[in-house]
Structure 1
Amino acid sequence: MFVASSTAALVGLAAAAATGIFTGSGSIGFLLGSCAGFVGGSLHYYRMCLAQALSSLDEHPRLMQLHLAYNFPWLGYQHLRRSQLRSKEWARTSFARQGNLIAAWLSASDALDEIHDRKTALILEAIIRQETAKGLIEDKEE
């Protein structure tokens, strides 16, 4: 939520400066500007989290289903069919269901980071092997 609070501060200060120039007092401008900035920043944060969660759902549907089921066992996410675990299905659902997906994505972030780290390590190993074979990198263990 750093995005929302920093947006609130920046928009609030800009609105305070603008109203201060015209009215001599920037308090109302700061109040209204910071509220508008917070709402705008929060909406932006929600949309970015939803985009990341939908992307993770497409890449790792079983992991996301596991976290949906762990976080919301009473909603029956453990019984979803594979076809229901696509981002197209979730992009058109209610805000509550999208919020559940975002919560599952946040709780799965450590596992997603580990998957990303392992993939990165495998790619780096392949690159190093290729460059070593080409003679671009000397083998320092000799």
Structure 2
Amino acid sequence: MPAINESDYGSLSQTPHGILKILGGYGNVRGPGLFMFRSMVAGTSTAMIMGLASGIVSSAIWGTAALPFVIFSSIGFAVGSIRWYVVSSQEALLQLQRYPALLRMHVVSNFPWLPEYARHGPSWYTPQRFGTGWVRRSILIASWLSAQPALDEIQKQAEEALVQEYAEGRVHVQDEDRK
């Protein structure tokens, strides 16, 4: 595990994934590691909600809640993780449609041990190709997560340009066009 200097703790606590670097010694919290972490958070939060809700209901009915809590929290973890996978898969495929070159770069950098992805250009990276199998879809989701800062920056710049157009009066309200 890489050593972390005490002076690094201040800057690490300010980054979005700094706590993972401090606790686990991870130097690169992105791609597959971030995918697993977010899946666990989604599953755990759903497990807590379903487990506690079933515990309250079953203790009111039967006076005990041990077995219903265990069963429903386990179901909750599975449901939460699967739901997160489905939603993130849809979002990753949508972003692949919009920004194939960016996601290609992240696929190649996150999975260097899979050289077949580096052989193809951005036109090969399509939602149809990555939406068919669970392996490619999982690779895409992990790469989409690591591309998130760049995607956020693209969104921010597009929003700033649109706000500037409104401020300069170059964009007209749609209701005025309909009159």
TM over 0.5: yes
* Partner residue, 2:159: 120
User: Is 1:88 equivalent to 2:128 in the alignment?
Assistant: yes
* Partner residue, 1:16: 55
Which amino acid counterpart does residue 38 of structure 1 have in structure 2? Answer: F
Identity of aligned residues (%): 31
Cα drift, residue 85 of structure 1: 1.2
Match of 1:53 among 83, 92, 97: 92
CA contact (8 A) 1:18 1:29 kept: no
Cα drift, residue 54 of structure 1: 0.5
Q: Which has the higher helix share?
A: 1
* Partner residue, 2:82: 43
* Partner residue, 1:140: none
Measured against aligned partners, the alpha-carbon deviations of 1:115-134 in whole angstroms (never above 9, x if no partner) come to: 11111111111111117xxx
Cα drift, residue 58 of structure 1: 0.4
Which amino acid counterpart does residue 130 of structure 1 have in structure 2? Answer: G
Cα drift, residue 81 of structure 1: 4.3
Distance 1:128 1:81 in 2: 39
Measured against aligned partners, the alpha-carbon deviations of 1:11-53 in whole angstroms (never above 9, x if no partner) come to: 1112212332343210111111101001100111111111111
User: Is 1:3 equivalent to 2:45 in the alignment?
Assistant: no
Distance 1:124 1:53 in 2: 26
Cα drift, residue 91 of structure 1: 1.2
Distance 2:120 2:67 in 1: 50
Distance 2:122 2:148 in 1: 21
Using structure 2 for the length normalisation, give the TM-score.
Answer: 0.68
User: Is 1:77 equivalent to 2:77 in the alignment?
Assistant: no
CA contact (8 A) 2:104 2:122 kept: no
Measured against aligned partners, the alpha-carbon deviations of 1:54-82 in whole angstroms (never above 9, x if no partner) come to: 11100000000000000112212112244
Secondary structure at 2:168 match in 1 = helix
Q: CA RMSD in A?
A: 1.8
* Partner residue, 1:137: none
1:104-119 to 2 correspondences below 5 Å = 104-119=143-158
Mark the runs of 5 or more structure 1 residues left unpaired by the alignment: 132-142
Superposition misfits of 4+ residues, deviation over 6 angstroms: none
Secondary structure at 1:74 match in 2 = coil
Match of 1:101 among 140, 152, 170: 140
Once structures 1 and 2 are overlaid, which stretch shifts more, 8-17 or 25-34? Answer: 8-17
Using structure 1 for the length normalisation, give the TM-score.
Answer: 0.84
* Partner residue, 2:22: none
